[in-house]
């Protein structure tokens, strides 16, 4: 199935996932009941007190006060840059799109991890850009394969999501991070580091971003992308890019040509949020809640399928990756699972080449704890029935 066919099926799945009666482990949505509605309403009200907020913005990189707040937040992640090195975007989706468009064109190659974020595969495919999968294990991309693929394909960039990655919650080792930077630097290939989940860590240890590790070479190799979608609210559509001045200037120009600038009210609302509320405190609450939802999912998995399937132990993020029996195709299982009121993402979506047809991505943040238990029970029942029939 091509990424576009996958994409159409994906849209249908996401539509179903939002239906009330379905227990959804599909989408990468934050918990509905943790969205900060009151605080965001106040932030918008505050933003609208300034008449000028409804005017076009002349600040080409995005609202300055927001960029200053982002630069302060990045310091906690050991990323030391000024607000001038930041471009505010309409979610990280626009950030990824802009970086793709300034670096690659139809016929070019981009390297991606196996597996990787399905929307990137779909977007590259639609632009006629060839995505080539790099072999990976639980520590990250295999350096030998990165080297080989760079030599063979001369890619325009490498797309990675190395911290609590989508779809499998993987955290790359520091060694692999350094090796990727070294290889790309030597070959003059850019790295797009997508980091929407880095704040959602269940353990307190610092995981250096590729961007931080690229500091010595003035961030010439890595472009960093992140978002407020997973830690504040996705509907606000505020993301950002940190990049060196040369790259950033091209991105600013392209964004201007494309949409002039991202929504000013949304940017101002997020800026007020960061100035008036404690995002670290909110993040701690999110992490606590998500960790307990994950525990609920794992406990029920142990009871129902403990001896039959394997899964990773996520240390953050929003996804658990499960490997089912080689006799069962996760797409086939999905049909029965949907008929029984439970949805998830089959592994097929996350590969540009040979898919892992026995992989399943389970989101553990959107569904309530009670429904997680019921959903896993139903999924296990469908699974066991299918297994008994093969």
Ligand X SMILES: Cc1ncc(COP(=O)(O)O)c(C=O)c1O
DSSP class of residue 313? -
Query: Rounded to an integer, what distance in angstroms lies between the CA atom of residue 121 and that of residue 115?
Result: 10
Nearest to 165 by CA among 201, 120, 116: 116
Query: Which of residues 98 and 184 has its CB atom nearest to ligand X in the complex?
Result: 98
Query: What is the binding site for ligand X (CB under 6 A)?
Result: 28, 91-93, 117, 161, 166, 194, 196, 227, 229, 234, 239
Q: Round to whole Å and give the CA distance between 53 and 64.
A: 13
Taking the complex as a whole, the smallest distance from the CB of residue 75 to ligand X amounts, in Å, to: 21
Q: Which is nearer to ligand X, 28 or 169 (CB)?
A: 28
Buried b (16+ CB within 10 A) or exposed e, 304-321: bbeeebebeebbbbbbbb
State the nearest-atom distance from the C-beta of 161 to ligand X, in Å.
Answer: 5
- Nearest distance from C-beta of residue 196 to ligand X, angstroms: 5
Tell the smallest beta-carbon distance from residue 387 to ligand X (Å). 30
Contact 13, 343 (CB under 8 A): yes
Closer to ligand X at the Cβ: 229 or 330?
Answer: 229
Distance CA 63, CA 163 (A): 27
> Which residue lies nearer to ligand X by CB, 118 or 291?
118
**Smallest distance from ligand X to CB 332, Å:** 25
Nearest position to ligand X, beta carbon: 91
Is 206 strand, coil or helix? Answer: coil
Are 208 and 5 spatial neighbours (Cβ–Cβ below 8 Å)?
A: no
CB closer to ligand X, 91 vs 359: 91
Least CB distance to ligand X at residue 88 (A): 12
What are the residues whose beta carbons fall under 8 Å from the beta carbon of 230, sequence distance 6 or more?
28, 30, 196, 197, 199, 200, 318
Helix (H, G, I), strand (E, B) or coil at 338: helix
Q: Pick between residue 34 and residue 186 the one whose CB is nearest to ligand X.
A: 34
């Amino acid at each position: 199935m091509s990424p576009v066919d996958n994409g159409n099926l994906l849209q249908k799945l996401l539509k179903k996932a939002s239906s009330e009666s379905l227990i959804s482990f599909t989408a990468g949505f934050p918990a509905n009941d943790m969205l900060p509605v009151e605080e965001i309403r106040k932030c918008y009200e505050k933003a609208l007190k300034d008449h000028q907020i409804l005017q076009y913005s002349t600040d080409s990189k995005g609202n300055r006060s927001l960029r200053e707040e982002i630069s302060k937040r990045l310091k906690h992640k050991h990323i030391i840059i000024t607000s001038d090195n930041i471009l505010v975007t309409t979610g990280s989706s626009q950030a990824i799109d802009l970086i793709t468009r300034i670096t690659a064109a139809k016929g070019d190659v981009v390297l991606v991890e196996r597996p990787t974020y399905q929307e990137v595969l779909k977007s590259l495919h639609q632009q006629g850009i060839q995505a080539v999968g790099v072999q990976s294990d639980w520590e990250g991309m295999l350096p030998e394969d990165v080297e080989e693929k760079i030599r063979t394909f001369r890619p325009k960039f490498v797309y990675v999501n190395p911290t609590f990655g989508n779809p499998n919650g993987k955290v790359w080792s520091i060694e692999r991070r350094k090796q990727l930077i070294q290889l790309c630097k030597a070959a003059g290939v850019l790295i797009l580091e997508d980091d929407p989940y880095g704040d959602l860590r269940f353990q307190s240890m610092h995981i250096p971003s590729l961007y931080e590790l690229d500091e010595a070479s003035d961030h010439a190799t890595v472009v960093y992308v992140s978002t407020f979608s997973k830690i504040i609210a996705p509907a606000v559509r505020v993301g950002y890019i940190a990049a060196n001045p040369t790259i950033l200037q091209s991105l600013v120009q392209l964004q201007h040509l494309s949409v002039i600038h991202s929504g000013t009210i949304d940017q101002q609302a997020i800026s007020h949020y960061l100035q008036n509320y404690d995002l670290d405190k909110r993040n701690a609450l999110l992490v606590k809640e998500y960790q307990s939802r994950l525990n609920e999912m794992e406990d029920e998995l142990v009871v129902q399928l403990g001896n039959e399937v394997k899964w990773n132990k996520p240390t953050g993020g929003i996804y658990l990756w499960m490997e089912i029996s080689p006799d069962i195709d996760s797409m086939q299982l999905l049909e029965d699972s949907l008929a029984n009121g439970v949805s998830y993402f089959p592994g097929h979506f996350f590969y540009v080449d040979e898919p892992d047809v026995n992989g399943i991505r389970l989101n553990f943040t959107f569904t309530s704890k009670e429904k997680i238990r019921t959903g896993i029970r139903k999924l296990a029942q469908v699974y066991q029935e299918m297994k008994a029939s093969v």
